[in-house]
Amino acid sequence: AQTVTQSQPEMSVQEAETVTLSCTYDTSESNYYLFWYKQPPSRQMILVIRQEAYKQQNATENRFSVNFQKAAKSFSLKISDSQLGDTAMYFCAFRDFYGGSQGNLIFGKGTKLSVKP
């Protein structure tokens, strides 16, 4: 069974600095999707960034980028120029490429990020 592990329950960063959130996963599949979701105090889960495992190039969305290491089964999120609005819970998630359990994202337990002024 696939598992997702986020080893950092809480992190903090100063505004304008860079922070990296860690995520490792376990799967026997070769094709899959990886995601980072953000959940601010409003509680809505918002997709931050998405990576397709068969693509070697790391995904980037503005200030958010990932370091995808397929062999190591590692998928870290880097937030550059941190802003106060980045304060949220961040969840790493995995989904089988073929959607074996349709819609079944496997989530980690989350990392609580606080951006300090």
Q: What are phi and psi of 84, to 5 degrees?
A: -55, -35
Q: Verify binding: residue 73, another protein, rule CB under 8 A.
A: no
SS3 per residue for 33-60:
EEEEEEECCCCCCEEEEEEECCCCCCCE
Min separation Cβ 100 and another protein, Å = 10
Q: What are phi and psi of 21, to 5 degrees?
A: -105, 135
Binding track over 8-47 against another protein, x by CB under 8 A: -------------------------x-x-x----xxxxxx
**Of 28 and 42, which has the nearer Cβ to another protein?**
42
**Of 2 and 67, which has the nearer Cβ to another protein?**
2
Q: Verify binding: residue 85, another protein, rule CB under 8 A.
A: no
